[in-house]
């Protein structure tokens, strides 16, 4: 467990961070040197499962994406992550990333990830924004990504949301997502990118929100990116809704301070589970001696 307050979290803004000197990146694919770390991580996740009743969630492993009536295999299966202590993580998204409805925004889940994962988090949340919808404090995702400083040089990028697109969906949605992700990949070509789908602000989950979740999952699979689905993993249910979501006039269906702490733990568990996934070799036979029936 990381000591509270030991790691840094800050909101992204003009001149927020100096350029980084060249160094070995702190997020990498599976390698021999990570095997010992994986063994230790297994024990850590088992301990977390005792402390956190939901256990360790399984991130969505891209297997296939729909194209018309045919299923097309993802071209690049995601590699297990090795997230070293002190890595720089850019958390990009909407008001949930901003920290809305927490006592102070810096108690939002994106900030809390610094201690949960033992990393430095850089928080880029704009209230009301989405892939299609401009926000209260800035434009839509694509334009915001274009304005990100290349010198930020994150090791890992987590892109969250967004439920804010549900009123504009589906017209132009996939094109907007594709353009935004292309720009993000070009901006930070060495970063690992993880997509965190929308979390339900109301129950039952609205149909457009569920459709956005499916679209993002499919588009991430096509790129071989990890996808976390709070909807599929049932992070917010009738059993814990009022413990997570502030439905009052201030919260307006955003996570409460306790809700942000809960979400930070769930995201951290999902990221840590990615470190435990076995490497996948596309189209490789499982057993060279196996005989097809």
- Residue 25: pLDDT above 50? no
Residue 80 pLDDT level (bands cut at 50, 70, 90): confident
Q: pTM above 0.85?
A: no
Judge contact between 166 and 208, C-beta under 8 A: yes
The pLDDT score that the predictor gives to residue 219 is 97
Under 8 Å CB-to-CB from 168, ≥6 apart: which residues? 130, 132, 133
The pLDDT score that the predictor gives to residue 79 is 79
Per-residue model confidence as pLDDT tens digits over 180-208: 999 999 999 999 999 999 999 999 999 99
Residue closest to 89 by CA, chosen among 129, 59, 116, 52: 116
- Residue 45: pLDDT above 70? no
CA separation for the pair 288, 293 (Å, rounded): 14
CA distances from 231 to 59, 90, 194, 198, 236 (A): 12, 22, 16, 7, 7
Least confident of 40-44, 87-91, 127-131, 230-234: 40-44
Residue 8 pLDDT level (bands cut at 50, 70, 90): confident
> For the chain, what is the mean pLDDT?
81
- In this structure, is the dihedral angle defined by the CA atoms of residues 66, 71, 74 and 77, taken in order, positive or negative? positive
Residue closest to 13 by CA, chosen among 192, 157, 147, 206: 147
Helix axes 207-223, 173-187, angle to 10 degrees: 40
Per-residue model confidence as pLDDT tens digits over 269-281: 999 999 887 654 4
Tokens in use for 121? 């988090």
CA separation for the pair 121, 86 (Å, rounded): 9
């Amino acid at each position: 467990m990381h000591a509270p307050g030991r790691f840094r979290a800050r909101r992204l803004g003009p001149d927020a961070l100096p350029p980084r000197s060249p160094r070995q990146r702190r997020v990498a694919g599976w390698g021999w040197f990570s095997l010992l770390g994986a063994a230790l991580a297994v024990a850590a996740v088992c301990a977390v499962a005792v402390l956190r009743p939901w256990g360790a969630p399984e991130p969505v492993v891209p297997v296939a994406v729909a194209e018309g009536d045919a299923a097309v295999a993802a071209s690049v299966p995601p590699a297990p992550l090795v997230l070293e202590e002190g890595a720089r993580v850019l958390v990009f998204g909407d008001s949930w990333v901003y920290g809305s409805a927490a006592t102070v925004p810096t108690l939002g889940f994106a900030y809390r990830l610094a201690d949960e994962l033992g990393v430095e988090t850089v928080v880029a949340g704009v209230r009301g924004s989405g892939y299609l919808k401009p926000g209260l404090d800035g434009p839509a995702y694509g334009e915001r990504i274009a304005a990100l400083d290349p010198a930020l040089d994150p090791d890992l990028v987590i892109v969250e949301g967004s439920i804010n697109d549900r009123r504009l969906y589906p017209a132009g949605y996939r094109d907007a997502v594709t353009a935004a992700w292309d720009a993000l990949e070009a901006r930070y070509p060495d970063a690992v990118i993880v997509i965190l789908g929308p979390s339900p602000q109301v129950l039952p989950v609205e149909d457009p929100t569920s459709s956005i979740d499916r679209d993002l999952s499919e588009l991430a699979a096509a790129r071989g990116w990890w996808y976390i689905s709070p909807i599929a993993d049932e992070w917010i249910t009738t059993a814990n809704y009022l413990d997570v979501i502030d439905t009052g006039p201030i919260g307006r269906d955003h996570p409460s301070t306790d809700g942000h702490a809960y979400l930070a733990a769930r995201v951290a568990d999902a990221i840590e589970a990615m470190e435990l996934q076995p490497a996948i070799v596309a189209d490789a036979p499982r057993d060279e001696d196996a005989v097809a029936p």
